Amino acid sequence: MGAELLASKVVILEEEPSIPTIVALPSAVTLCLGITERGPMADPQLLTSFEEYQRIFGGFTLESDVAVAAYGFFRQGGTFMWVSRTCHFVDILDPLTATATKASVTLNNGGSLATPAVVGPGTGASPFPMTTGMHVDIDIGAGAVPVAFTGLPATLDNGIVTEPFDFTGGGQTLDVVVNGVLQPVTFLVGDFVAPATATALEVLARLNASLSGCSAVKHGAGPSFGVALFTDGAGSDYSLAITGGTANAILQLAAGPVVGAGNVGDIAAVTALEAEAIVEATAGLIGAVDVIVNVGGTLSVETVATGVGATIQVAGTSTVDFGLDHILHTGADTAVQPTLTCAGKTPGDYANDIKIAIEAATNGLALSFNLKVVLSSVVKETWPNLNMDPTSANYVETVINDVNLGSRLIAATDLALTPLGIKRPANVVTANMIGGDDGLTALADTDYVGNVAGPTGLYTFDRVRTGRILIIPGVSTEAVHKGMMDYAEIDRNGSMFCFLDIAAGLTKIQAVAYLTGAGLLEYSEFGAIHWPRIKVGNPQPSVYGTASSITVPPSGWIAGKCAANDQRLGGVYEAPAGYGDGWGVIRGMTGVEDDPQGLSEHQVLDEKTRDYVYPYRINPFNRTTGGLWYIDGSRTLKSTGNFPSIGERRGVIFIGQSLVEGLQVFRHRFNNHANRQRAGRGITQFLIGEMNKDAFRSRSPADAFFVDASDALNPVMNEFAGIMTIRIGLATNKPTDWIILLITQDTRALEESLAA
């Protein structure tokens, strides 16, 4: 803000704050990729509840672990989850094409009304370029009737007055009105070799040089010629008139006004409405045909008569090209024709269980109908009083396909029968939708890891910049696990953390063998793995059977635990582990996966079992004496990283991403000492706030962290390169893995006695 200092006054000016504010970003927004029952493909959707998940992606299925992961996420207290659905993609013909397909059913009309013979719609769109006399020849059973289109220019001539013309002295004028626009013409002495005996060609030269939209030509047969004017365009839209000037006493042109002749406004650009009017007004076709102007300006021609006796054909002798074919078309008496297609709103096998019912409308109108969507024998949606009229508020496409208020299960497509009276679908008790496919055949690791060009797989999340936790529930291969950590650490520049699911049914020896054999141990500190899979209460017996609990991959439940913990003061810096204050307690967990060899160690996960897997950085589960199941490990997969525990790494991600966003204000500003110090002060202020949330090993800033934005880190060459360097050191808290009790004999009394 500035102010001019003119008269004496007190002025208020505002300064930029010396310490910029850095705002803490969300720390537990979870990105979840995998197979779902339905929903948009490779298009992440933000969810804030499991009910919202069900509305968009459907429910629990045996083919997918995503639904149960989302269920566990929100049950633990998670708030924000982005879900992206995947399938197998092929790139043979059309690059990165999803193999998932939509189920559909096409409904027929009642076939109770006779239909006209129809030719069209044509492939050409208005305006149609023509020349005068061109014609379209239409045969409705009594021979071809030519429909001619004519357009002639407006013309003025000077009758029998011929050259020479006397333009002695020059300066004569002629006021010509061309298509309503006045265009004065002035004849100069220099226009003529001999002004007293000017020739027609000399007059024409001046007129053509001065006039726009019309042309001057010689008139008459010679040996002397007169002068004539005509418009460049032809048709009733064109006009000429002489409204004044001294030259017309010499030239004797008719004054007009005159209008171009013909039955169109512009023969070079005939409109669809003109074509409609001319065809319908031609003798032999009057009252016998209707011309339909379609959306986009194409034409259809149909007979007024209906039934099998009605025929229409555009003859091959036609010289006008509306793009209409030359085939003989016949009407129908009681034809049953496809009129409406209902398809799954999104691809997937789920829609093969959908049936469509068409019933009489509750409003009693003959052309209206009720549509019901039946899924697995249950009516899920009822849409009353729909119709097939695109101009109606109850038009089937308008209602069913509405983005916010329309169907969650299907989409409707009007097949555009004409006329409107035959479009209503016939009543049907149920019509089965078929052809839906989830696209899981040949599903491979590459479909999960994805391709940035699609984007598919993980790269569908590129637009979700706030994602901090990444899971692919139930997918447990080396390629996918490494792909997840590569995406988090490299593609997303270390801005998120991955919870990996280990395969089902692995013993402790097999789990360690997988981790070491796949090269995951020490691969990245941006991922962690938990073993074994967990048991939770059966959320839907109709899907999972009558057992009281089911076995599920834990990643979604752990991500939800992180999200819940992060809502506590400083919770992002704590590992989701242990049962003290509930930091690692999994709500709804009833046990761990049964050992496939019949051993009991999975059910108990005794100390010996945990001793075996934990050195390999596999985080196991444990149970309190009261029966609460909790996460009993806090390690990332890399022991040699800067921040090798889950709490440390997630906390540093949170700090780093908050600083990245908060320091954007310094981009493109001066790279000088003052701005570097301002940036350093902003970082320091933010870190002090986090220090007070127990983010670091000390509550003394000098011991908790350091921020170096000094000139030593920013030499002149860096300034010229546009680089500002700020070094930040964090004394992060370390988790307690072991508590060692040293127990010995108390000899204090004996020592006192000996001393005495």
Whole-number pLDDT of residue 621? 94
Whether 487 contacts 457, CB under 8 Å: no
Helices and strands: H and E segment counts in the chain = 18, 37
Tell me which DSSP letter residue 714 carries. Answer: S
**Alpha carbons 183 and 205: distance in angstroms, whole number:** 15
Task: Indicate the pLDDT class of residue 110, thresholds 50, 70 and 90.
Answer: confident
Region 420-426 average pLDDT: 89
Q: What is the pLDDT of residues 50-86, one digit of tens each?
A: 999 999 999 999 988 999 999 999 999 999 999 999 9
> Is residue 730 classed as helix, strand or coil in its secondary structure?
strand
Range in 22-36, 133-147, 476-490, 610-624 the model is least confident about: 22-36
| pLDDT number for residue 64 | 87
> What is the average per-residue pLDDT within 526-541?
95
> Is the pLDDT confidence value at 3 over 70?
no
Query: 601 pLDDT exceeds 90?
Result: no
Q: For residue 19, how many other CB atoms are within 10 A of its CB?
A: 15
R_g of the chain computed on alpha carbons:
42
- Model pLDDT, residue 95: 62
434, pLDDT greater than 80 = yes
Residue with tokens 């040699």: 640
**Lowest-pLDDT range, 83-87, 132-136, 514-518, 741-745?**
741-745
Identify the H or E element spanning 429. strand 428-432
- Taking only the tens place, the pLDDT of each residue in 503-528 is 999 999 999 999 999 999 999 999 99
Amino acid identity, residue 52? E
- For residue 18, pLDDT over 70 is answered with no
13-27, 242-256, 283-297, 629-643: least confident range: 13-27
Beta bridge partners of 708: 727
- Band of the pLDDT at 749, cuts 50, 70, 90? confident
Burial of residue 712, with CB atoms counted within 10 A of its CB: 0-12 exposed, 13-18 middle, 19 or more buried: exposed
Q: What pLDDT is attached to residue 753?
A: 86
What integer best gives the mean pLDDT of the chain?
91
- Chain centre to alpha carbon of residue 478: 32
Which pTM value belongs to this model?
0.69
* pLDDT at residue 5, as a whole number: 77
Mean pLDDT of the 689-701 span = 92
Query: Is a pLDDT exceeding 70 seen at residue 16?
Result: no
Q: Please determine, for residue 471, whether its predicted confidence score (pLDDT) is greater than 50.
A: yes
Q: Is the pLDDT of residue 338 over 90?
A: yes
The mean per-residue pLDDT over the stretch 315-332 comes to 90
- The CA distances from residue 112 to 58, 311, 334, 338, 425, in Å, are 39, 19, 5, 13, 11
**Beta carbons within 8 Å of 743's beta carbon, 6+ residues apart:** none
pLDDT in tens, 211-257: 999 999 988 777 788 899 999 999 999 999 999 999 998 988 888 89
> Considering the chain, what percentage of its residues have pLDDT values greater than 70?
96
pLDDT exceeds 50 at position 14: yes
Angle between helices 555-566 and 66-76 (to 10 degrees): 20
**Rounded CA separation 203/361 (Å):** 76
The pLDDT, as a whole number, for residue 301 is 94
d(CA 139, CA 313): 5
What's residue 421's pLDDT? 82
Residue 337 has pLDDT above 90, yes or no: no
CA–CA distance, 99 with 348 (Å, rounded to integer) = 10
At 501 the pLDDT is 97
